[in-house]
């Protein structure tokens, strides 16, 4: 059945999951990839891709084997040419002779002939609908309806033989759309939008359906998590509309390496898993592929066994988000001192300084001052540092901190954390710009509200989700918000803490919707879910806060941990990955594959080391010119492998220097940054 994507359907009216306030994994049909079932009730499958040259058969087989050893369930290998496709046959033979039966996937771009050959040797063929049958050069042109039809006929002619071959051999296919490599046809009619990505896949899906071939898995990857999240949701909404149940392969492309790569992947993949979407995932890191597997496994773990769950006991409130297009929720403006929030204000970060074992209370002030004054390019200080303010001694420290920051870090505000044990809340209000009331229970002293209003302080009201639903916590916050507003506090911020990412996301969604119903626009202070280990905290924070920020929910963020520096860094990195606040250079780095023309990992590290101090610049580091220029998406500058030992440099999408010897390429990139006003000299010489 053909889908009319031009119909005047209200996208917000299309559901992409049964409830935004409940969890249920989307039921898809099962596609067998060898003996690994993807979709249905199968576990979320973990996969990766080799980075060796495919024709280096032994090296590729060995890397695939290492991937299997660490838990990879499906291994992809690039097949740029027919020769590479044949080499996969030999790789397969060697692996099978060693008893390794992991399904293999051939990754195809531009070459239907390579796809036809590869189909003989693998359990799945991945094609990119943007370049399977299209040219490498984007051209701007208007397509008449007739010309568009003719293009589709041409694609059908080229694609049908592969569909029929995969069907005859009983192997699977992935129609893998990439935001950065859409066809001319799609770009000219839809632009590089989520809708264009969906239509790109549907053009190919219709051909599969026409030929009675259901063994297709779909992906909608982008390096921008927001675009990727919207595209997958839109795809599901469209498929549901016409009764398609194809399984989904999730991934964020060109995520980069280290903490940033993990955060970006977790934001995009995690948000969708939490929507109940995704049957197999690949985390793309610019590292050895084995490093991707534990990240993917940890992201999938909470959803592998997850039962259906509701976070609201009443009928769902009306959703206020548009899940298919980013719009920041409009909150009332408020705040005090330099802590300005809501409206179009910058997304703020608050960092609590907590007493860990053996830390003398007096040490808290020094730690807070050290954090507030340690800002440097790419690593900002939090907008507010917070100390407890329950006792007279603690309030003395708050005053001391306020006095120190007034001269040593005047852009950083002081926040006081008060709990129901506070005896003199009005004194605390006098010492701090932000009062952060944290209570799991109803009491909220009138004296505190009077003090906050009288001293014109900012107020954050936080409670906790304790039971299976978020109803009670949301009701409590609504009551507190009304009392605060009645007391003369115009824009109290509201916050909810919880133990896991799912609860955090649903509780804030529910709070946002209930506020809207009540005609209130209080800012929302996002608190990261609790975690036992730093690594778990990194992933959970990325999923929960990143997911909310990509949906436009949130005005300030807080990541808790005994060590305030990594917590602050994580908060800013999640803001950056979600596009909510840019504080450092952004890198789009491909994970490398058999096409890569230079050693991506050291080159990426080197470029990061010389450009990491810049702010608001996006630099792409891509292994080849076949896919690199297309997939570096909206990067400002590109460093792309042009030939062995040679690099092509880009400004935006335009190649401005070709075949630069690799040993000169870093300097030439810096010269380009300078010529375009994107360079500042690093402090401390480096
Ligand atoms: S851009 Fe990188 S991952 Fe993509 S095909 Fe080229 S080398 Fe491989």
Indicate if the pLDDT at residue 250 is higher than 70: yes
| Residue 454 and residue 478 in contact, taking contact as beta carbons nearer than 8 Å | no
Tell which one of 60, 595, 644 to mutate to probe ligand 1, the residue whose CB is within 8 A of the most ligand atoms.
595
Q: Which pLDDT belongs to residue 305?
A: 82
Please tell me the distance between residue 627's alpha carbon and the centre of ligand 1 in angstroms. Answer: 6
| Residue 570 and residue 537 in contact, taking contact as beta carbons nearer than 8 Å | yes
Binding pocket residue ranges, ligand 1, CB within 6 Å: 590-593, 595-596, 622-624, 626-628, 631
Please tell me the distance between residue 623's alpha carbon and the centre of ligand 1 in angstroms. Answer: 5
Whose C-alpha lies nearest to ligand 1, atom 5?
Answer: 627
Q: Which of 90-104, 132-146, 618-632 has the lowest mean pLDDT?
A: 132-146
Token digits of residue 477: 């916050």
Token digits of residue 603: 């080159």
Whole-angstrom CA distances from 130 to 133, 185, 278, 363 are: 8, 9, 22, 57
Please tell me the distance between residue 648's alpha carbon and the centre of ligand 1 in angstroms. Answer: 14
Q: Give the nearest ligand 1 atom to 49 CA.
A: 3
385 pLDDT band, cuts 50/70/90, is very high
Instruction: Give the CA count within 13 Å in the CB-facing half-sphere of 590.
Output: 31
Q: Which pLDDT belongs to residue 661?
A: 92
Q: Measure the CA–CA gap between 592 and 594, rounded to whole angstroms.
A: 7
pLDDT digits 0-9 by tens, 35-69:
999 999 999 999 999 999 999 999 999 999 999 99
Q: Give the nearest ligand 1 atom to 590 CA.
A: 2
Tell which one of 587, 623, 630 to mutate to probe ligand 1, the residue whose CB is within 8 A of the most ligand atoms.
623
Please tell me the distance between residue 671's alpha carbon and the centre of ligand 1 in angstroms. Answer: 25
- Who has greater pLDDT, 246 or 425? 246
Q: Give the nearest ligand 1 atom to 595 CA.
A: 7
Average pLDDT over residues 284-302: 95
Q: Which pLDDT belongs to residue 8?
A: 36
Please tell me the distance between residue 19's alpha carbon and the centre of ligand 1 in angstroms. Answer: 37
pLDDT digits 0-9 by tens, 515-538:
999 999 999 999 999 888 989 999
DSSP 394-450: HHHHHHHHHHHHHHH-TTSEEEEEE-TT-S-HHHHHHH-SEEEEE-SSS---HHHHH
What are the residues facing 458 on neighbouring strands?
A: 434
Please tell me the distance between residue 75's alpha carbon and the centre of ligand 1 in angstroms. Answer: 16
Q: Give the nearest ligand 1 atom to 626 CA.
A: 6
| Residue 29 and residue 245 in contact, taking contact as beta carbons nearer than 8 Å | yes
- Who has greater pLDDT, 562 or 398? 398
Q: Which pLDDT belongs to residue 57?
A: 97
């Amino acid at each position: 059945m053909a889908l009319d994507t031009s119909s005047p359907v209200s996208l917000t009216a299309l559901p992409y999951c049964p409830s935004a306030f409940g969890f249920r994994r989307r039921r898809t049909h099962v596609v067998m990839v060898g003996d690994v079932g993807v979709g249905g009730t199968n576990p979320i499958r973990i996969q990766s891709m080799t980075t060796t040259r495919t024709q280096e058969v032994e090296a590729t087989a060995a890397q695939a084997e290492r991937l299997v050893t660490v838990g990879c369930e499906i291994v992809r290998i690039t097949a740029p040419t027919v020769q590479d496709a044949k080499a996969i046959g030999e790789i397969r033979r060697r692996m099978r002779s060693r008893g390794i039966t992991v399904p293999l996937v051939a990754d195809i771009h531009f070459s239907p002939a390579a796809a036809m050959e590869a189909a003989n040797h693998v359990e799945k063929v991945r094609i990119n609908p943007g370049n399977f049958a299209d040219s490498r050069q984007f051209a701007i042109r208007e397509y008449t309806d007739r010309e568009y039809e003719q293009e589709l006929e041409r694609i059908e002619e080229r694609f049908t033989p592969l569909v029929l071959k995969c069907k005859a051999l009983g192997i699977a296919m992935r129609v893998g759309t990439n935001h950065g490599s859409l066809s001319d046809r799609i770009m000219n009619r839809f632009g590089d939008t989520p809708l264009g990505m969906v239509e790109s896949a549907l053009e190919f899906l219709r051909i599969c359906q026409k030929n009675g071939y259901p063994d297709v898995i779909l992906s909608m990857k982008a390096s921008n998590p927001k675009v990727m999240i919207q595209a997958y949701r839109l795809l599901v909404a469209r498929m549901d509309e016409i009764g398609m149940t194809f399984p989904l392969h999730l991934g964020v492309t060109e995520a980069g390496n280290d903490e940033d790569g993990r955060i970006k992947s977790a934001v995009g993949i995690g948000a969708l898993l939490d929507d109940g979407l995704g049957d197999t995932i690949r985390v793309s890191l610019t590292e050895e592929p084995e490093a991707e597997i534990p990240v993917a496994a940890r992201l999938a773990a909470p959803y592998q066994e997850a039962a259906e769950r509701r976070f609201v006991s009443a009928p769902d409130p009306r959703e206020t988000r548009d899940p298919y297009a980013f719009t920041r929720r409009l909150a009332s403006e408020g705040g005090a001192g330099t802590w300005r929030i809501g409206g179009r204000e910058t997304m703020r970060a608050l960092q609590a300084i907590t007493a860990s074992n053996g830390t003398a209370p007096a040490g808290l002030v020094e730690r807070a001052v050290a954090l507030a004054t340690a800002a440097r390019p790419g690593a900002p200080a939090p907008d507010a540092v917070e100390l407890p303010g329950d006792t007279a001694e603690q309030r003395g420290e708050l005053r001391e901190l306020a006095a120190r920051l007034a001269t040593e870090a005047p852009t950083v505000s002081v926040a006081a954390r008060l709990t129901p044990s506070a005896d003199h809340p009005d004194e605390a209000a006098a010492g701090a710009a932000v009062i952060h009331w944290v209570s799991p229970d109803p009491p909220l002293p009138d004296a505190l509200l009077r003090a906050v209003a009288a001293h014109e302080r900012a107020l954050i009201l936080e409670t906790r989700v304790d039971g299976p639903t978020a109803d009670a916590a949301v009701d409590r916050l609504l009551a507190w918000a009304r009392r605060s507003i009645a007391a003369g506090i115009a824009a109290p911020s509201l916050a909810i803490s919880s133990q896991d990412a799912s609860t955090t996301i649903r509780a804030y969604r529910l709070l946002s919707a209930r506020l809207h119903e009540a005609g209130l626009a209080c800012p929302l202070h996002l608190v990261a879910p609790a975690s036992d280990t730093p690594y778990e905290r990194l992933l959970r924070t990325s999923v929960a806060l990143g997911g909310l920020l990509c949906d436009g929910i949130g005005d300030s963020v807080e990541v808790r941990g005994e060590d305030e520096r990594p917590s602050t860094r994580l908060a800013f990195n999640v803001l950056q990955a979600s596009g909510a606040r840019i504080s450092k250079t952004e890198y789009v780095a491909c994970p490398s594959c058999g096409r890569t023309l230079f050693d991506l990992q050291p080159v990426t590290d080197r470029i990061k080391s010389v450009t990491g101090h810049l702010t608001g610049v996006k630099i792409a580091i891509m292994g080849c010119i076949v896919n690199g220029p297309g997939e570096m998406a909206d990067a400002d500058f590109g460093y792309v492998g042009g030939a062995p030992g040679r690099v092509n440099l880009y400004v935006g999408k335009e190649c401005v220097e070709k075949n630069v010897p690799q040993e000169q390429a870093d300097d030439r990139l810096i010269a380009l940054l300078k010529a375009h006003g994107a360079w500042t000299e690093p402090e401390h010489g480096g």
